[in-house]
Every structure is written in structure tokens, then in C-alpha cells.
Amino acid sequence: MGKQLSKQQKKAQVVPFLQDGQYYYNKGLKAYREQNFHKASKYLAKALELDPNDTIKLSQLATIYTDMGKYSQSNELLSQILDEVDNNMSECYYFMANNYAHLGLFQEAYKCATEYAKQEPYGEFIEENEDLIDLLTMEDDEEEPFLKDPDDLIIKQDAAKSLLENSQFEEAILLLEELVKEYPEFWSAHNNLSLAYFYVGEVEKAKEYLTTVLERNPGNLHAYCNLLVFYYYERKDEKVEELAKALSNVHPLLFEHRYKLGATFALVGYYPAAYKWLRTLYKQGYDGDDVFYYWLSYSAYFTGHETFAEQMWERVIKANKEKVGSEPWNVNKEDSEQRVSSMSLEERLYAIFLSIETNNYDQLKEYQSSNVPQSQLEKEFIHLAFSDNSDNDSTKMRLLYQVAKTLFVQSEHDELFLFSFKILAKAYKHEYSFKNYAGWAAALDYIWLKQNAINEEISQNAVAKKYGTSVSSVSKYVKLVKSILA
């Protein structure tokens, strides 16, 4: 009897309860103090499900989102407070102004900052607010010289980012060109446009946009990271070492800056610095995509944290099964990726062509599944390699391949092929027809021979006979190639 009562008493001690919003709020604050922002945001979101109109919980989650670099989400909550809960919480305007400034939406930042100054002339943040207004109006004498439509910018920015992440560089360039024209001081668009141009082989254009950012927005971390990538791909080892050393002394506060710095260090092979920042993000609860875990796994593996690297690689494969086979412990594969990363677009196209000619399809599959950024042109060229001759979708690419094939039969000069692929890439981008592939091949051969003084006596008539085409065709395509070179 006594034992039975004892069991009942023990059972009675286990009392189920429903946690209220304050319970999750307190757990969120604890995670926030530990700088685990991801966990903190989850607890605060849960707390708001239970207390949706609690201004303290709303503002705390908005603060966490700002610390995570989620400025738009933060402003959504701050707007909710003003519009639906308490329009007297004027400090929301100050916090919104800062968020808009981080997003590059300077007009909206200015509006919110001036509204805060109007409502709270002696407010808690009035000094910081005045500094922000001074910064926003520093280089402008016009009354409202800022951005036109923040919603339009956010939509286009997100679309461009998605295109870049999917290596749709040509489409990204069109959208980003539009963005920098409409919003000339939105530096994120300039940086992304610079990267997009670099990955399609337009190196000079890429550097132009990067120079613009560094001249007009000194200290822009994204621009310096992109410059480090450029130096790395161009094999300027001394400049890579110099800039990497300078960036290793930078200690960014924002999540997005830490991610950018860590991923850039990993890409150029500075794994200890990469591991430092990416591991810090992971410990603070950053919930990244497969690219984040890819670089975290690589940096972990090459700094001796092999077990952790394997754990992170599992996350990569879970998100993107195409990465199977490109594990960091596959040293040969890693070396191959580093080597390919340092090649120019024309070198990569030539390598793809040679793989097709030598039936080296394993190498093509390896490159296809790698983490090396690939332009749309490269993707279509690789697709051609694995398609049959009846694939009508690749007609234009098949003709471009025939141009290279025709040259391959007649010449053994690697430099001619690099020159030719550089021209053909531009021609492909601008929708030129390759139907007369013999004419294209003859013209490319002729101009390259003339430029390099290999055969100064060669005539268009001789080249026409060599490639089995007419002199008029050679003349036509010589003019076309020269126009592309101009």
C-alpha cells in the first residue's frame, strides 16, 4: 500500500505545463547573451506566437535580426509596433533608420531619422541620430537626393543575388546594370556586378566597377574581398599575400561581413583565417546554406579538424547531392579545383574543348560538380559534351564547337585557341551566328597570325584555301572579329 502511494506521489510530481511567451522570451534572452543569435531568434519568434502584440518581445526580436544582418525583417517588426501596437514608441524610427542605412536605402533612412528627431528632440538616441543624419546628408545639397523605391531595390537585389548563386552570370549582369544605373550609390550592386563580369571573363569591366566602389566608398569590406579573389585568380601571389594579411586584421561585427571574409579566405586557401570566422558564425547559431557548410568543411579539414569537417560535409550533401565526390579530403580534387579557379574563362573553355576531343568525360563530370563558379557558357558547353547530335537546344553551341574543331584540325598553337575562345565567348554573348564556322575559323587564324607576326606574308586568299571557304567570307568575318576586339 505504501509503495503504491509512493509511486502515485512520484507520478504526481511530473506535472505537464504550457509554457507562456515569457518562458520562451527568457530562453531567448539567455541565448542572445551567449551570442547564439539563431537560437535566440527562434525562441523570440515562439514567444511572439503566444504574445503577438508584446512591444518588448517585438523590439527584442527586431534587435536580434539587426545583429544577424536581417535588416528588412527587423524593420518589418519595428513597423508592426508603430502601425499596430504602439505608435508612441518613437525610438523605433531611429532603429529603422539604422537598418535602412545598412541596406543602402538612404532616403528611407533619412525619413526615419528626421521623424525620430521631430518626435524626440531630447530622446535617448538623439546624439547618435544626429550623427546618422549628418552622415546621410554629408555629400548631398539637394533636399531629397536619395533612393526612389526601397521595395523595388529589395526585390531586384534579391533576384540578382539568386542569379549569382545559381551561376546565371549573364542574367545577373543585366539586372545589376539596371540597379547601378538607378541606384548609383548602392555599393552592393556594384560589388556583385564586378564579380559577375569577372566570372564571365570581362576582367577589365570587373575591375572598373570594383575601382568605383573603392574610390567612392573607401573601406568597403566586400570590395576588398572581391579584390583578393581577383588577385588569386590572376595568380598575383604577392598581392594576394599582402591583401590577405591586411584583411586578417579586420574584425567585422556583422554576420554577413564575417561570412564574406571567411568564405573569401577559404576560397584563396587561407584556411586558418577562414576557419576562425566561419566556425565563429556556426557557434553563434548561423544557419547557412550548402555553400557556407562547404567552406566551413574545407577550412576545418585543412586546419586539422577532420571529424568536424566530416560532420559539416554531411550538411553539404544533405542540401546539395551534386557535391558528392568533391570532399575536402579528396586532396587531388581540391588541388584540381584550386587550379581551375585560377584559370581565365578562355582557358577553362579550351580545357572543356580538349576534354571533349580526348573523351575525358570523367574530368568534365568532376568539373561540373565542383564548387568553382561556372558561367552559363561553360555550363552549355559541358551540356553539349553529354548530349547527342540530335539535341536541337544546343545548335548554336554545337556550331561554336565546330569553329574550334575546324581550328583544331588546322593548327596546334595553344595561344591561337585561347585567343579564339576569348573572341567566341564575346560573340556568343552578343548572339552572333556561327553557321559559317569555316569563315569564323579562317578569320580567327588570320588575325591571330597577323597580330603575333608569325606569318606576316599570309593573305586572306591563302587562309580561305586552307579552310575551304571563300575570300569574301574570310573578309567578312575578319571585320567582325576586329569589331569584337575593338
Q: Is the dihedral of CA 399, 404, 409, 411 positive or negative?
A: positive
H or E element in which residue 321 lies? none
* Residue with cell string 505545463: 17
Domain boundaries, the chain: 21-135, 153-228, 251-331, 344-485
Q: What local confidence, expressed as pLDDT, does residue 102 receive? A: 78
- The CATH classification of domain 153-228, taken from the options 1.25.40.10, 3.30.70.520, 1.10.150.530, 3.50.50.60: 1.25.40.10
Give Cα separations from 39 to 35, 99, 259, 290 (angstroms): 9, 21, 18, 19
Please, which residues have CB within 8 angstroms of residue 456's CB and are 6 or more apart in sequence?
A: 450
The answer to whether 277 and 261 have CB atoms below 8 angstroms apart is yes
The parts of the chain modelled with pLDDT lower than 50 are 1-18, 139-147, 334, 390-391, 393
Q: Which amino acid is located at 200 in the chain?
A: V
pLDDT at 399: 86
Calculate the CA dihedral of residues 333, 336, 342, 346 and round it to 10 degrees.
-120
Q: Which three cell numbers stand for residue 319?
A: 542540401
Calpha distance 448→446 (Å, rounded) = 6
According to the model, what pLDDT value does residue 1 have? 34
The amino acid at 167: S
Q: What is the pLDDT of residue 95?
A: 92
How many residues comprise the chain?
486
Using the structure block, give the residue that is written with the C-alpha cell 511530473.
Answer: 14
Residue 14 confidence (pLDDT): 42
Please give the pLDDT value at position 253.
66
The answer to whether 344 touches 199, Cβ cutoff 8 Å, is no
Amino acid letter, 368:
Q
C-alpha cell at 32: 542572445
CATH number of the structural domain 21-135: 1.25.40.10
**Which residue is it, cell 559539416?**
312
* Cα separations in angstroms, 267 against 250, 295, 329, 342, 378: 17, 8, 16, 11, 20
Domain 344-485 CATH superfamily? Cyclin-like (1.10.472.10)
Backbone angles phi, psi at 251, to 5 degrees: -130, 80
CATH architecture of 251-331: Alpha Horseshoe (1.25)
| CA 114 from centre of chain | 34
Same fold, 153-228 and 344-485: no
Q: What pLDDT is stored for residue 53 in this prediction?
A: 84
Q: What does the radius of gyration of the chain's CA atoms come to, in whole angstroms?
A: 29
d(CA 275, CA 262): 7
3-state secondary structure of 400: helix
The set of residues, in sequence order, having a beta carbon less than 8 Å from that of 427 and lying 6+ positions away, is 434, 480, 484
State the number of CA atoms in the 13 A half-sphere of 97 facing the CB. Answer: 24
Residue matched to cell numbers 542569379? 163
pLDDT at 163: 84
pTM tops 0.95, yes or no: no
Amino acid at 92: C
